Amino acid sequence: MFGKIEWLDLTVPDAEKVLDFYQQVIGWDKSVVNMGDYDDFCVMPHGEDIPAAGICHARGGNADIPPLWIPYFNVENLDKSVQSTTALGGTLLTPIKAMGAHSRYVFIRDPAGAVCALFEKGS
């Protein structure tokens, strides 16, 4: 479904510290996502298996992501949405990035300064 929030991410320099904060404040459980040299995290309501969001380190391909809770909005055609973003006064914060074998995303700033990601889910 296009236009819905596909995912919510927070990318910060010290994901473990921020994860601990949210676990204490909200009561989230975590699952570990191994990134090779370090671990990122999915968080979910206590006792549930379905992740609610991700808390990630600002490293590697994520080093350029601002430390904000960022919604990933599902779009039908990422290239068209990127063109509309710039034509309507928005800014691309990153190049288009691959997620898995077929999905793609890009971080943008809207004309008011709000940040989000546009996400095209592959088949």
CATH code assigned at 27: 3.10.180.10
Instruction: Provide the domain count of the chain.
Output: 1
pLDDT at 123: 75
Q: Which domain holds residue 106?
A: 5-120
Q: What angle do CA 102, 103, 109 make, to 5 degrees?
A: 150
Q: What is the 3-state secondary structure (H, E, C) of 24-36?
A: HHHCCEEEEEECC
pLDDT in tens, 68-118: 999 999 999 999 999 999 999 999 999 999 988 899 999 999 999 999 999
Residue 89 carries which DSSP code? T
- Which pTM value belongs to this model? 0.87
**What token pair was written down for 92?**
């691309």
